[in-house]
Amino acid sequence: LQYGAGVTEDFAQAVDEILGLLRAQGRRVTTQRRAILDALLAHDHPTVEVLSAAAPDVEGSTIYRFLDDLEDLGVIDHTHLGHGPAVYHLVADPHHHLACEACGAVIEIPAAELAALRDRVREHYGFVLSPRHFALPGRCVGCG
């Protein structure tokens, strides 16, 4: 499965691929789930609130259940960019986040940028970092 970087061009294809994966795994595919998936792919790092606004006919509990399903399947995962609610993004798009504590700007960096640090920490401390789960806080260039 290849979605992520080119997801905006291949939007319909990405939706179809994920729906196909759900069906192959014996998960239900409903109109509501399709609406959530459309909203998920149409927004950059949406919160549940954003998804809910984009799919107003779908109940919040349905959205949470579907997001859990997609996380179980390894299609999406969530991250915390700051003090606010979790946001969702595609697993197939490996990146980390830098979050400006002053203005809230979020900069995506390739996952490979932290690979050396990850290896060193594992080697020296026996600890495996999961830097994608939380943004690294700091200051953007504009906030100095």
Give the footprint of Zn ion on this chain (CB under 5 A). 89, 100, 102-103, 105, 140, 143
Least gap, CB of 124 to Zn ion (angstroms): 26
Residues 6+ apart with CB under 8 A from 79: 45, 86, 87, 89, 97, 132, 133, 134, 135
Contact yes or no for 3/90 (Cβ under 8 A): yes
- Which one, 54 or 106, has the nearer CB to Zn ion? 106
Shortest reach from residue 2's CB to Zn ion, in Å: 17
Instruction: In angstroms, give the least distance from the CB of 93 to Zn ion.
Output: 7
Q: Which of 129, 127, 83, 77 is nearest to 104 (CA)?
A: 83
106 bridge partner residues:
99
Q: Among residues 20 and 137, whose Cβ is nearest to Zn ion? A: 137
Nearer to Zn ion, 60 or 138 (CB): 138
Name which of 10 and 108 has its Cβ closer to Zn ion: 108
The least distance separating Zn ion from the CB of residue 10, rounded to whole angstroms, comes to 18
In degrees and rounded to multiples of 5, residue 129 shows phi and psi of -70, 145
